[in-house]
Structure 1
Amino acid sequence: MFGIGELTILLLVIVAVLAVKRLPDLTRSAGKAARILKSEKQALKEEDGPVAGAADGREAPRTAPRVIRGEATERDTP
């Protein structure tokens, strides 16, 4: 009989053989996802950058609050 170690190695070999066909597609989609995340991060960084006029490099408070549309809910008061 096979032991757990041999069955694990056999299972990994089977998964590797079956995954060879899909591996290029998986890496391509992972690369696209990484590029999208990187561009979104850069866009957020540009949008939320420090406001001009901060003397010591810290982010100054914004003049107007940012409005996010959505559903209004009431807070639970203890």
Structure 2
Amino acid sequence: MTGGILLIIIAALLLFGPNKLPELGRAVGRTFREFKEATRDIVEDEPEAKKAEAPVAAAAVQPEKGDPRRLPE
């Protein structure tokens, strides 16, 4: 496992040079941070959407009292 990581580091140094590696590391870090924030926002939004839909669906199913279109019981 360690040999594989060492090989990747050497290949990256050869391809990009030592001056570009910090910039690439920052770019990868920003990308992971944005992805993490986006997934957190999506997960937090789902329960709120479900809560907002539930009362609307319940109100649509139950007819109001005094509704002239209601069937006799």
Using structure 2 for the length normalisation, give the TM-score. 0.45
Using structure 1 for the length normalisation, give the TM-score. 0.43
Give the helix-richer structure, 1 or 2: 2
Q: Whose radius of gyration is greater, 1 or 2? A: 2
